[in-house]
Amino acid sequence: MVPFAWTLPNTLRAAALALLLGGFGVWLATGAHLGFTQTSLVTIKRDEITGIDYPERRPGFVAGVEIPLGTAAAAIALALLSLAADRRRPAA
């Protein structure tokens, strides 16, 4: 007997796990920001002549908390689909 077979329920569970780990991985790799996703980064610069601080925007990406939450919701949906697919399969 094969200990693991690529049936539809197992494939859906593997996809759910991959999606969950990927979402959290992207979130952690880009800074684990607890706010919303940012597509530009702000750095504070100081004018050398006047001494005034001013914000400067530059392109960048920091994933917000909606990335892991969205991927977790999609992973839960895939896991529930795998349970439904498992029930449809007749017992052998």
56 located within any domain: yes
The answer to whether the beta carbons of residues 41 and 57 sit under 8 Å apart is yes
2 located within any domain: no
What is the domain extent for residue 80?
Answer: 8-88
75 located within any domain: yes
Tokens of 84: 């439904």
3 located within any domain: no
d(CA 45, CA 55): 6
pTM, whole model, 2 decimals?
A: 0.74
- 9 pLDDT band, cuts 50/70/90, is confident
pLDDT higher for 91 or 62? 62
- 29-68: pLDDT as tens digits: 998 899 999 999 999 999 999 999 999 999 999 999 999 9
Which residue in 36, 38, 23, 25 sits closest to 69, CA to CA?
23
Q: Give the total number of structural domains in the chain.
A: 1
pLDDT for res 81? 92
In degrees, to the nearest 5, what angle opens at C-alpha 68 toward C-alphas 67 and 72?
Answer: 120
Query: Other CB atoms closer than 10 Å to residue 12's CB: what's the count?
Result: 20
76 located within any domain: yes
1 located within any domain: no
